[in-house]
Amino acid sequence: MPSAAPTETPGPTGRRGRPGYDQQSVLNVAVQVFNRHGYDATSMGILAENLGISKSAIYHHVPSKEDLLALALEQALGGLESVWDAQESQEGSAEERLEFVVRSTVKVLTERLPFVTLLLRLRGNTETERKALERRRGFDRKVAELIEEAREEGTVRKDIDPRTVSRLLFGTINSIVEWYRPGGSLTSEKLADDVVAVLFNGLHTRA
């Protein structure tokens, strides 16, 4: 059943299109559809059906389906990359900075859940996807370097291969997109606290 049309208010780009939608509201619906059907399997016809407008009306907002994808991925990647702009990611011990990055990454994921979900499900079939995946790998490399710095600092165990640590860390955080539902009893703040507690302290109770 087509989604109800949002009111016409300018999105982040300020671009207006057909009555009832702006670019951001079209993007929000498109990302939901991409996640439901898969980007490759989603046609402009399917998008139009879910938006309740014609295919030609979509082109008043964006030139193509791939442009929608690029806008969506920028919301995910821009949020993740902004973590490194914060003062807390640049100052303090490696362990403190790593904890901040983990906590902030969980926050970005929960606040931009549909967009990060789309990013994590990319297959790299288009140039837009490949560029996004390279930016994501750049983020992952920075975290891996921070883990190595914490190992050298002595605040992260040295008996576990750093690649294993990095993969487990990313695996834990990335899995959140498969089960976390905003608006439930588990707030994003409590989720971030729990993830940090498990990753840094484990599950053993302390005496």
Same domain, 41 and 93: no
Q: Are residues 35 and 95 both part of a single domain?
A: no
- Alpha-carbon span 80 to 42, nearest angstrom: 26
Number of domains in the chain: 2
Amino acid at 163: R
pTM of the shown model: 0.85
- Average pLDDT of span 144-153: 93
Q: Is residue 5 part of a domain?
A: yes
Residues 79 and 55 in one domain: no
Mean pLDDT, the chain, rounded, equals 88
Residue 96 has pLDDT above 60, yes or no: yes
CB 131 within 8 A of CB 70: no
**So what's the pLDDT on residue 207?**
52
Cβ contacts of residue 20 below 8 Å, gap of 6+? 5, 6, 7, 8, 53
Mean pLDDT along residues 108-131: 96
- Give the H/E segment covering residue 84: none
In this structure, the answer to whether residues 117 and 33 fall within a common structural domain is no
Looking at residue 203, its pLDDT comes to 82
Q: Which of 132, 133, 164 is nearest to 148 (CA)?
A: 164
Tokens of 28: 């929000």
Tokens of 68: 């929608």
The domain boundary, picked from 38, 62, 86, lies at 62
pLDDT at 4 over 80: no
Question: 13: pLDDT confidence band, cut at 50, 70 and 90?
Answer: very low
The pLDDT of residue 159 is above 70:
yes
Q: 117 and 47 in one domain?
A: no
Q: State the pLDDT at residue 12.
A: 37
Which residues, 6 or more positions from 176, have their beta carbon under 8 angstroms from its beta carbon? 106, 109, 110, 191, 195
Place of tokens 């990302």: 31
Range(s) of the domain holding residue 34: 1-62
- Is residue 53 predicted with pLDDT exceeding 70? yes
- 24-28, 64-68, 104-108, 158-162: which range is least confident on average? 158-162
- Tell whether 206 is covered by a domain: no
Q: What is the pLDDT of residue 206?
A: 64
Please indicate, yes or no, whether residues 33 and 130 belong to a single structural domain of this protein.
no
pLDDT of residue 205: 74
Based on the fold, state whether residues 4 and 103 are members of the same structural domain: no
What is the average pLDDT across 55-81?
95
CA distance linking residue 96 with residue 54, whole number of Å: 51
d(CA 65, CA 166): 34
Average pLDDT for residues 111-127, to the nearest whole number?
96
